[in-house]
Amino acid sequence: MRDILMSIRDRAIELGAEFGEVRLVSDDRTGMSRQDGKTDRMSSGTSTGLSVRVLHDGSWGFASTSIVGSDAAHSCLGEAIAAARLAPPAEGIELATVPAHEATATTQVEIDPRSISAEKKMGLLRTQEAEMLRVAGDKAVNTTVGLSNSVTRTVVCNTQGAFVEQQQTRVGFNCFVVCADGDVRQEGYESRARLAGWEEMAAVTPDAYGAKAANKAVELLSARRALAGVFPVVLHPSVVGVFIHEAFGHNAEADLVLAGESVLEGKMDTQVASDLVTVVDDGTIPGQWGSFAFDHEGTPSQRRPIIDKGKLVGFMHSLESAGRMGVAANGSARADGFAQRPIVRMSNTLVEAGETPFEEMVRGIDQGVLFQDGRWGYVFCQRGQYTLNAGSGRMIRNGELCEMVRDCCMCGMVLETLHHVDAVSREWDLPTRGGGCGKNGQGMPVSFGGPYLRVADMVVGGQDA
Amino acid sequence: MERYIDIANAACEAAMRAGADCADVHLQQGASRAIDLELGEVKNVDARSYRSVSVRAFSRGGCGWASASKLDEADARAAGETAAALAKAADPDPDFRDLPVGGPLVEIEGLWDEAVAALSLSDLLGYVTPEIEAVRAVAPDAIIGGGSGTWGGGSVYVSSKGTCVTQRGSGVSCSISAAVRRGDDVGSYWDGDYGRRMSDFSPAGIGKRAAEESLRLLGSRTAPPGVFPVLFSKECGRNVLMPLIYSANAEDVQRKRTWVVGKQGEQVASQALTMIDDPFIPGGGGSSPADGEGVPRKKLTVIDRGVLTTYLHNSYTAGKAGVENTAHSTRGGISPTNCNPVIGDRTEAALLKAMGTGLYINSGGLAVNDTSGDFSQVVDTGYWVENGEIVYPVKETMISGTYIDFLRAIEALSSDPRVEPGSVSPAVLVGMIRVVAR
């Protein structure tokens, strides 16, 4: 296959491409789940395909196929060139260059998950399921536990001289429970997802997942609805993670900056946040869901500083965005499978720890909310208006944590919120529950976390007055 | 298509030979082309082909799945054998009755159009170019994004019950986003159009609308907090009703994980709301003659003057409940087809006047917690309205409450919906809702 990939790369140059890249991706995955006490689904899947991307007369052309072979690959190249030629000739794009290199990277795996029997995997799910039922008792109306593992092999070959083979092994596991009490119905969810082998699942204990999910759902049955209004809030690391990824992180993706779609355009080296805030995107953390050795343009992964003490210091880059901005590529271009183009993506996005103890952050609030269990969010990058959803929270009164509140959303303008951060905790967490990010129709494994943040005032969309 | 039927049958037979009690196979293949824009210029041009086969096998009700991206007989057979082995390893499921048997299918016009499937990348460029110019005519400094795409392909469904359904589908779409910036003040909006056949595709005007609306959204302020009526425009009216239909999924109900449990036959919305699921709309985005298990589709009134008349079923949930299958299987899940509200008798403009003072929301949806039935939603784009007149665009404004209260507070649906293939979206006026703002 190496010969085919290299022949495509060489032929791209002969056909006049300024840059050419061929990427081969094969994927092998299995999954199983249990629901309400019995097997729900057992699954297995494979996929293989390749894509060719060319830069020709300043325009990008891309083609993909699930037929893997020399003829299909050359046909793909022809389609990519034809596609690029369709666009009117544009000003040349000077891509950043990465020194030519050949490399192989494989996830460090102690126990290959493919070697574990279905019965052993099912045993883990049964244990978690039993724990959820033990804790939730007759309040449990629906339990679901699932487990998946995958091995993905990606080969990137480009005209800058990169030939990179990368094999990533992933394991993931989740528990979901719905509890009911009369007409009140609430849910609990916990998961663990690692770029690693089965050894990571061996570390899964029932009390950390099944019991925790069930406890959450049971507690929420008696929780009040969140208040509506503008309050000082403390955000749990899991909510901070969603915030820094969704509300801020997308704005720091250089392709969106170049497209005029980011509130950070023109703000490099300026203060975009409280000087308590430092943000990095780090694709090199061992085992973390958003980590990788090389991005899908063959650039080595890195730790990317984004905000340093409130000042904007960097963006996440592809070869193109780095070239257009005149900086070094930093390994942020990834693609969702063979049939998608690499685009700029986050990896593991983090706010760094501060110095304030959590208790002290809470002590400073007369009436506010601690939001926990970050779930989802989104942002309109151009305007900077974002929304966040948290699965639960606790009221804060007179500096004390009080009753639990149910899930709700918050909203704000991202740069105003970042400026209104008035405390950053010394406690810090990077959840290992795994996460997916959607952009331009492509999903991508990511993770996010940080310390507790206190924001002076945030719009809270609760249901109670 | 004959070759693909043979491959699908080979996979199904392999599953049966490997010991499955029954099995079905879904195979699809096709191609897509797309261009996308950056700053009003063509940025990327893509051509893709795709193909996949998935086999579902059952043993004593236990289910196994296997899929592959290759479409040769050997790989399809291997997938069939794997699915059967997984099914045998699964626990028995006494709630599983059997795979359904297909039946005569209605022919639906406009799901496949040779002309759409033959569109070239150059044709797609021809759709976006005048829209880019239209944006610039309205807002010369607008930041323009969007693109255009087309797809065409076919699918085969076969089962060990003798069902065989082949379908072809096509589609073309075009969207334009426009953003205008005045210092830190930004107004942005997008619009789009799609069709499964050329006669339903008319993107002309989307650029102008996106540009005009983005200008109108400059100068946003926060709305006053309180409890007010809210009018959802025809751009998003249907979006706020669909969570009810998604919640009426019989599997979620049987698993007791949705707020809709026990609500069949109950008044879940105001009498102003009737919603009909119609899979036979010519050219409809959700139209198809058969569901994902090859069962002939049916037209169904899901909400009748506010009463939830039925849950949506597949063969498994219908068998478990002992009721008629409504043919909403996605083969592994349940989904509506083209579910649309029956429109009202006043225009959107008349409803705006009638609302008096409140919020007018013109994009987005409603984030309903399907388990609890609570919602909490930011206003993506909208306006504050006084005395029936739009006063200013809003920001940092949210609405919240419980979804059943929201549905029961629906006062009217407009008579002048936005109509897209398979979708009818009127404006929806809802009585008092909590508005949260800075």
B126/A contact by beta carbon, under 8 A: no
Domain residues of chain B, as ranges? Answer: 2-216, 226-437
Q: What is the pLDDT of residues A331-372, one digit of tens each?
A: 999 999 999 999 999 999 999 999 999 999 999 899 999 999
Residues 264-283 of B with CB under 8 A from A: none
In contact, B278 and B338? CB cutoff 8 Å: yes
Q: Which CATH architecture has domain B2-216?
A: 2-Layer Sandwich (3.30)
B50 neighbors B29 (Cβ within 8 angstroms): yes
Amino acid letter, A398:
N
CATH code for the structural domain at A2-221: 3.30.2290.10
What confidence score (pLDDT) does residue A67 get? Answer: 87
ipTM field? 0.93
CB contact burial A93-109 (16+ within 10 A = b; e otherwise):
bebbebeeeeeebebeb
pLDDT in tens, B271-289: 999 999 999 999 999 999 9
Q: Is B188 on the interface with A (CB under 8 A)?
A: yes
List CB contacts of B221: < 8 A, sequence separation 6 or more.
B384, B392, B393, B394, B395
B153 in contact with A, Cβ within 8 Å: no
| CA B166 – CA A410 distance, rounded (Å) | 47
The share of chain A scoring above pLDDT 70, in percent, equals 100
Measured between alpha carbons, how far is residue A280 from residues A162, A273, A449, B20 in Å? 26, 14, 11, 51
Say whether A451 sits in a helix, a strand or coil: strand
Q: Model confidence at A91, in pLDDT bands (50, 70, 90)? A: confident
Pick the closest to residue A321 from A269, A265, A254 (CA basis).
Answer: A254
In this structure, what token pair is assigned to residue B162?
A: 């003798």
B74 close contact with A: CB closer than 8 A: no
Q: What is the mean pLDDT of residues A268-292?
A: 98
Provide the shortest C-alpha distance from residue B54 to chain A (in Å).
8
Of the candidates A42, A178, A459, which has its C-beta nearest B64's C-beta? A42
Query: Residue with structure tokens 């096709």?
Result: B30
A463 to B225: CB separation less than 8 angstroms, yes or no: no
Residues of A in contact with B153 (CB under 8 A): none
Q: Classify B7 as helix, strand or coil.
A: helix
A to B CB pairs, distance under 8 Å: 227
For B391, counting Cβ atoms within 10 Å of its Cβ (0-12 exposed, 13-18 middle, 19+ buried), the class is: middle
What is the identity of the amino acid at A455?
A: V
User: If you search the block for the tokens 């092999």, which residue do you land on?
Assistant: A153
Task: Decide: B399 and B377 in contact? Cβ < 8 Å.
Answer: yes
**Under 8 Å between Cβ of B401 and B375:** yes
Compute CA distances B211 → B322, B384, B420, whole Å: 53, 20, 21
**pLDDT tens-digit readout, B88-131:** 999 999 999 999 999 999 999 999 999 999 999 889 999 999 99
CB A440 within 8 A of CB A333: no
Give the ranges where B90-120 is alpha helix by DSSP (H).
114-117
Nearest 5°: the CA angle A266, A267, A268 is 100
What CA–CA distance (Å, rounded) separates B260 from B253? Answer: 7
Cβ contact A86–B42 (<8 Å): yes
Strand bridging mode B374-378 / B397-402 = antiparallel
* B167-215 tens-digit pLDDT: 999 999 999 999 999 988 999 999 999 999 999 999 999 999 999 999 9
8 Å CB contact between B430 and B232: yes
Contacts of A62 in chain B (CB under 8 A): 44-47
Tell me the CB-side half-sphere exposure of residue B137, using CA atoms within 13 A: 11
From chain A, the residues in CB contact with B47 under 8 A are: 61-64, 79-80, 82-83
Q: Among candidates A116, A108, A83, A69, which has minimal Cα distance to A17? A: A83
Enumerate residues 6+ apart whose C-beta is below 8 A from B290: B102, B105, B157, B165, B167, B296, B297, B327
Q: What is the pLDDT of residue A229?
A: 95
Is the distance from CB of A132 to CB of A143 less than 8 angstroms? yes
Residue whose tokens read 């109950």: B266
Say yes or no for a CB contact (<8 Å) between A389 and B376: yes
CB A186 within 8 Å of CB A214: no
C-alpha pair distances (Å), B167 with each of A57, A82, B29, B111, B154:
40, 30, 11, 9, 6
Contact between chains at A80 and B47 (C-beta distance less than 8 A): yes
Q: Which residues of B touch A263 (CB under 8 A)?
A: 186
Q: Write out the two tokens for A48.
A: 């293989």
Percent of chain A with pLDDT over 90: 91
Chain A residues touching residue B67 (CB < 8 angstroms): 43-47
Chain mean pLDDT for chain A: 95
Residue A203 clears pLDDT 80, i.e. is over it? no
Q: Is the pLDDT score of A173 beyond 90? A: yes
How much is the average pLDDT of A15-33? 96
> Which of B87, B188, B434 is opposite residue A382, by nearest beta carbon?
B188
| B68 touching A (Cβ < 8 Å) | yes
What are the residues facing A190 on neighbouring strands?
A: A175
pLDDT tens-place string over residues A211-253: 999 999 999 999 999 999 999 999 999 999 999 999 999 999 9
Among all chains, which residue has been given the structure tokens 């070094």?
A328
pTM, two decimal places: 0.95
CA-CA distances (angstroms) from residue A236 to A111, A370, A410? 33, 7, 14
* Closest CB from B90, B121, B378 relative to A39: B90
CB contact under 8 A, A63 and B48: yes
Please give the Cα distance from B65 to B87 (Å, whole number).
8
Strands of A241-285 (E only): list them. 279-282
Residue B313: pLDDT over 90: yes
Question: B257 by DSSP, 3-state: which?
Answer: coil
Average pLDDT for B56-80:
93
Token duo for residue A106: 């494989």
Question: Per-residue pLDDT tens for B113-122?
Answer: 999 999 998 8
d(CA B411, CA B355): 10
Give the tens place of pLDDT for each residue, A398-447. Answer: 999 999 999 999 999 999 999 999 999 999 999 898 889 999 999 999 99
Looking at B188-236, list the stretches that DSSP marks H as alpha helix, in order from N- to C-terminal side: 206-216
Contact (CB<8Å) B255/A44: no
Instruction: Give me the residue from A46, A88, A389 closest to B68, CB to CB.
Output: A46
Q: Quote the DSSP letter at residue A54.
A: E
Find which of A71, A76, A340, A382 to mutate to test the B interface (most B CBs within 10 Å of its CB): A382
Lowest-confidence pick of A191-205, A302-316, B257-271, B308-322: A191-205
Report which residue type is found at A238: S
Beta-bridged to residue A166, according to DSSP, are: A105, A154
- DSSP symbol at A89: P
Expressed in percent and rounded to 5, the helix, strand and coil fractions of chain A are 25, 45, 30
How many CB atoms are closer than 10 A to CB A219?
14
Closest C-alpha to A391, from A412, A375, A369, A411: A375
CA-nearest residue of chain B to A46? B68
Q: What is the pLDDT of residue B99?
A: 97
How many Å apart are CA B316 and CA B309, to the nearest integer? 20
Best of B59, B67, B398 to substitute, by most chain A Cβ atoms within 10 angstroms, is B398
CB contact under 8 A, B398 and A141: no
The mean per-residue pLDDT over the stretch A170-195 comes to 96
Structure tokens at B28: 């699809």
Q: What is the mean pLDDT of residues B43-72?
A: 93
Q: Which residues of A touch B225 (CB under 8 A)?
A: 228-229
Class of residue A389 by CB neighbours under 10 A (exposed 0-12, middle 13-18, buried 19+): buried
Q: Which amino acid is at B332?
A: G
Q: What residue of B is the nearest CA neighbor of A460?
A: B436
CB contact set of B59 (below 8 Å; sequence gap of 6+): B19, B20, B21, B84, B87, B88, B90, B92
- The tokens of B244 are what? 């009810």
Q: Which residues contact A124 (CB under 8 A, 6 or more apart)?
A: A147, A173, A201, A204
- Asked if A409 lies within 8 A of B89 by C-beta distance, the reply is no
- Residue from the list A185, A228, A412 with its beta carbon closest to the beta carbon of B400: A228
Q: Which segments of chain A belong to CATH 3.30.2290.10?
A: 2-221
Of B46, B90, B396, Cβ closest to residue A413 = B396
B70 pLDDT band, cuts 50/70/90, is confident
> Does B72 have pLDDT greater than 90?
no
The span from the CA of A353 to the CA of A453, in Å, is: 9
Instruction: Dig out the tokens for A356 from the structure.
Output: 């304030």
Q: For A398-446, give the DSSP string.
A: TTEEEEEE--EEEEEEHHHHHHTEEEEEEEEE---S-EEEEETTEEEEE
- B256–A38 CB contact, under 8 Å: no
Cα separation, A373 vs B172, in Å, equals 40
CA distances from B338 to A350, B170, B429 (A): 42, 17, 22
Give the residue from B16, B202, B25, B46 showing the smallest Cα distance to B127: B202
Q: How confident is the model at residue A164 (pLDDT cuts 50, 70, 90)?
A: very high
A43 contacts B52? CB cut-off 8 A: no
Q: Are A289 and A334 spatial neighbours (Cβ–Cβ below 8 Å)?
A: no
Reply yes or no on whether the pLDDT at B342 is more than 90.
Answer: yes
Question: What pLDDT shows up at residue A86?
Answer: 85
**pLDDT confidence of A1, banded at 50, 70, 90?**
confident
Q: Which residue's entry shows tokens 């807002």?
A: B139
Give the nearest partner residue to B255 out of A43, A142, A261, using CB atoms: A142
User: Do residues A449 and A350 make contact, with C-beta atoms less than 8 angstroms apart?
Assistant: yes
Binary contact (A63, B46; C-beta < 8 A): yes
Which residues of chain A neighbour B399 with C-beta distances below 8 Å?
461
| Segment among A90-94, B34-38, B81-85, B347-351 with least mean pLDDT | A90-94
